[in-house]
């Protein structure tokens, strides 16, 4: 690990001031569960770190009648276990407690979780591999290489790294937004516009400026939130990243037709992915095993398999169909 300077401002306003005058490459430290890892691997080499993890105003959890407001510094474990989150947004709670381990969830923040970096082994395991994300212009070892866990959707010839998070997948399905502050003031970014596909610049992963800080996440209160679930399929049932995941929210009308449907895909795309075409197939019709299967197929219609990851297309289709069944049961309770 290389030497760096450390600052811990006590407020959001002081943090914005510190970031405004910071050296290029300065990083915000929240829970530290990703940044410290990447610094030890020499992937992140910030000259300075601004620590926000003790700022009390970032750690609030407020569930109101219109929306859920999560301070970006709230701990994953605290949000996952919050009674109001479990009751009105069960899929959000599941997306958090199915991530990482209890120890990591106790440290990691929800804001930091959104911006976690890929687990692509070529990216993380050493500079000897070509990796456009780590060393722009060097190539991509995963294209044509070992790509069992790489993305099926949203990739490019320059990068097929999977976005590894779960929470953002459920948030994108529920139309969440993030509020960010920087030297220019505050702005709101929809979850759907926060992350970017790699294109020909895989090093760029989101739309935030280096001096901007996520201060809160807001999730609208909807019937689809109450009928939500997050289903994560992985090589083992704990402490593993998704091979395929689906965050689904459903509302069902009195006549049995689907009134609202939200489908997010995780573990299969280069960013949190919303399957809008699959949603359209279901809205206005009864949910059946056949229609759930058709929605799953629509969600993966544009999937592009590489060398070793093709089996995850069918896995993804089934994951979506199963998640729809679970959400359907919740929505009609
Ligand atoms: Fe690097 Fe992306 Fe290729 Fe992985 S998939 S080696 S992160 S460029």
CATH number of 224-331: 3.30.390.50
Q: Would you kindly state where each structural domain of the chain is located, as residue ranges?
A: 5-51, 224-331
Pairing of strands 48-51, 27-29: parallel
Please choose from 149, 161, 162, 268 the residue to mutate so as to test ligand 1's pocket, defined by most ligand atoms within 8 A of CB: 161
- What would the pLDDT profile of 303-326 be if each residue is shown by its tens digit? 999 999 999 999 999 999 999 999
59 in Cβ contact with 12 (< 8 Å): no
Q: pLDDT grade, residue 139 (50/70/90)?
A: very high
The token duo for 133 is 């994300």
- What would the pLDDT profile of 204-216 be if each residue is shown by its tens digit? 999 999 999 999 9
Instruction: Enumerate the β-bridge partners of residue 179.
Output: 188, 216
75 in Cβ contact with 32 (< 8 Å): no
Nearest residue (by CA) to ligand 1, atom 1, is 131
CATH number of 5-51: 3.30.43.10
Judged against a pLDDT cut of 90, whether residue 1 lies above it is answered with no
Longest dimension (CA), the chain: 64
Query: What is the distance in A from the centroid of ligand 1 to the CA of 272?
Result: 17
Residue 72, Cβ density class (10 Å: 0-12 exposed, 13-18 middle, ≥19 buried) = buried
Compute CA distances 153 → 98, 104, 305, whole Å.
22, 28, 9
Q: What is the CB < 6 Å shell around ligand 1?
A: 118, 120, 122-123, 131-133, 140-142, 150, 159-161, 202
Q: How far apart are CA 15 and CA 275, in angstroms?
A: 37
Nearest residue (by CA) to ligand 1, atom 3, is 140
Q: Can you give the pLDDT at residue 153?
A: 98
Block residue for tokens 């929809």:
190
Going 316 to 33 to 179 to 89, the CA torsion angle's sign is positive
Query: What is the distance in A from the centroid of ligand 1 to the CA of 273?
Result: 19
Domain 5-51 shares a fold with domain 224-331: no
Q: pLDDT grade, residue 229 (50/70/90)?
A: very high
Nearest to 89 by CA among 116, 62, 109, 115: 62
**Ligand 1 atom at shortest distance from the alpha carbon of 147:** 5
């Amino acid at each position: 690990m290389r030497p760096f300077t450390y600052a811990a401002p006590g407020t959001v306003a002081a943090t914005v001031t510190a970031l405004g005058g910071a050296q290029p490459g300065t990083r915000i430290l929240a829970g530290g569960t990703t940044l410290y890892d990447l610094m030890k691997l020499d992937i992140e080499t910030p000259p300075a770190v601004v620590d926000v993890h003790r700022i009390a105003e970032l750690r609030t959890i407020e569930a109101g009648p219109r929306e859920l407001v999560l301070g970006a510094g709230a701990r994953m474990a605290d949000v996952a276990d919050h009674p109001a989150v479990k009751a009105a947004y069960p899929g959000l709670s599941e997306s958090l407690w199915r991530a990482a381990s209890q120890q990591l969830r106790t440290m990691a923040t929800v804001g930091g979780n959104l911006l976690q970096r890929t687990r692509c082994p070529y990216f993380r395991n050493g500079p000897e591999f070509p990796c456009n994300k780590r060393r722009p212009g060097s190539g991509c070892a995963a294209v044509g290489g070992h790509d069992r866990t790489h993305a099926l959707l949203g990739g490019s010839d320059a990068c097929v790294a999977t976005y590894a998070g779960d929470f953002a997948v459920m948030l994108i399905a529920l139309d969440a937004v993030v509020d960010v502050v920087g030297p220019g003031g505050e702005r709101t970014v929809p979850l759907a516009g926060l992350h970017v596909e790699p294109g020909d610049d895989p090093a760029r992963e989101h739309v935030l400026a280096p001096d901007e800080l996520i201060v809160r996440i807001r999730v609208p209160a909807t019937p689809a939130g109450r009928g939500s679930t997050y289903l994560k399929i992985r090589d083992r049932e704990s402490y593993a990243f998704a091979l395929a995941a689906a965050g689904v929210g459903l509302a069902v009308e009195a006549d049995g037709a689907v009134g609202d449907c939200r489908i997010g895909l995780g573990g299969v795309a280069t960013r949190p992915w919303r399957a809008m075409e699959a949603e359209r197939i279901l809205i206005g019709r009864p949910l059946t095993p056949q229609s759930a299967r058709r929605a799953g197929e629509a969600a993966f219609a544009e999937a592009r398999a590489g060398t070793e990851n093709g089996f995850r297309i069918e896995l993804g289709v089934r994951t979506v169909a199963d998640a729809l069944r679970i959400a359907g049961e919740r929505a009609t309770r």
